[in-house]
Amino acid sequence: MSEPESHASRVTDLFVGLTGSAPEGVWSAPGRVNLIGEHTDYNDGLCLPIGLPQRTCVAVSPRADRTLRVRSAQQEEVVEVALREVAPGRPAGWAAYVAGVLWALERDGHDVPGLDVTVDSSVPVGAGLSSSAALECAVAAAVSDLAGLDLLGSESGRAELARACIDAENIIAQAPTGGMDQSTAMLCHERTALLLDCRSWETRQVPFDLAAQGYALLVTDTRASHALVDGQYGSRRDQCREAAAALGVTSLRELEPRDLDATLDRLSSDVLRRRVRHVVTEIERVRGAVDALQADDLAGLGRLFDASHNSMRDDYEISCLELDVATETARACGALGARMTGGGFGGSSIALVPLAAADETSAAVTDAFAARGLAAPVSFAVTAGGPACRDH
């Protein structure tokens, strides 16, 4: 049985254990890793994520009453909540990511039934690989089918589901994330990176098939906990808003890269200057990465990875020891480039490594962590996976 199939069968068993009957269906959605373009989504900028082969599966049946009952293989408790009681911060904890999707779709005018839902996932949770969006988008795909919304069949329908998932996370789970994660889980394609314009929400598919060129994308989950809900991410968002207001623009996307020096001179705060420099240069690096991929210039892509990491470490100040060690070690092993990915303060890094050196690189990263007394990281090579869909 392939890995996704085994999850689909485990989530079905979990469902039978919860309800005593088989689910109406099984849906899944991928985690994501962002190749480049970090903390640009909430600045109306560009990012370039791929869907992961790791997915979150949900087994779902509608219920006759207006109640949501959820159980996850990754959590202890069964959560039950009446749909009318779902509100910001309610339910608390992980079930908000499920309940929030129902809440958002209902708010959008859709007729949403009560549901029994079980969850099982191969996306590492809290590793910056977007297990939260994978969960939301798997649920949204299920609701779209079960409530007859028919939104999975078109790009615009999928974008609408992604927006409902963003609101679920921002408003009900109260995690102030941008829109990259949910858009990726809904709109990504296999062997393709998704160029996402977070101002217009336009997308473009960019070929991403490293194996064909003898390379792999090695993800390292540093196991250091990141703190999305704990204020650091929100503080970066606030600083960007403050800088935009001081510069008289509605978002940092509007700043011209060629005028960067003059723009920075207009800011009196050194911290804000560095935050703005990261965002403006990072958006340019996304453009450069797309060009590099289209020209099969992996060395060029690697240099952009390195520059992006340095910008996040020095200007945006969201790296940490684990992420710096993982990226430096990968480079020392011959990676063309390496960078932290996701919100920061822990989570995961990525490295562009020769296929033949992937195992050796992941062993070297493990050794480097051990030598510094850090908890053991987990590294794995990934390819670009497909979007939220019905599995069974």
Considering the complex, state which of residue 263 and residue 379 has its C-beta at the smaller distance from ligand ADP: 379
Among 228, 338, 365, 384, binds ligand ADP (CB under 6 A): 228
Query: Any contact of residue 132 with Mg ion (CB under 5 A)?
Result: yes
**β-strand 192-197 against 79-82: which pairing, if any?**
unpaired
Minimum Å gap between C-beta 286 and ligand ADP is 20
Neighbours of 323 (CB within 10 A): 29
Query: Any contact of residue 126 with ligand ADP (CB under 6 A)?
Result: yes
Number of alpha helices (DSSP H) and beta strands (DSSP E) in the chain: 11, 13
Minimum Å gap between C-beta 78 and ligand ADP is 12
Query: Any contact of residue 132 with ligand ADP (CB under 6 A)?
Result: yes
Calculate the CA dihedral of residues 342, 217, 120, 201 and round it to 10 degrees: 50
CA distance linking residue 181 with residue 32, whole number of Å? 7
Based on the number of CB atoms within 10 Å of its own CB, is 73 exposed (0-12), middle (13-18) or buried (19 or more)? middle
Query: Any contact of residue 94 with ligand ADP (CB under 6 A)?
Result: yes
**Candidates 45-53, 58-66, 72-80, 240-248; binding stretch for ligand ADP (CB under 6 A):** 72-80
Residues with catalytic annotation?
181
Position of minimal CB gap to ligand ADP = 94
* Type of residue at 342: G
Instruction: Pick out residues in 259-298 that bind ligand ADP (CB under 6 A).
Output: none
CA distance linking residue 254 with residue 251, whole number of Å? 6
Q: What is the DSSP letter of 154?
A: S
Of ligand ADP, Mg ion, none, which one sits near residue 125, judging by CB under 5 to 8 A according to partner kind?
ligand ADP
CA distance linking residue 161 with residue 215, whole number of Å? 34
Query: Any contact of residue 348 with Mg ion (CB under 5 A)?
Result: no
Minimum Å gap between C-beta 127 and ligand ADP is 6
Contact residues for ligand ADP (CB under 6 A)? 56, 72, 74-75, 94, 97, 119, 121, 125-132, 135, 175, 228
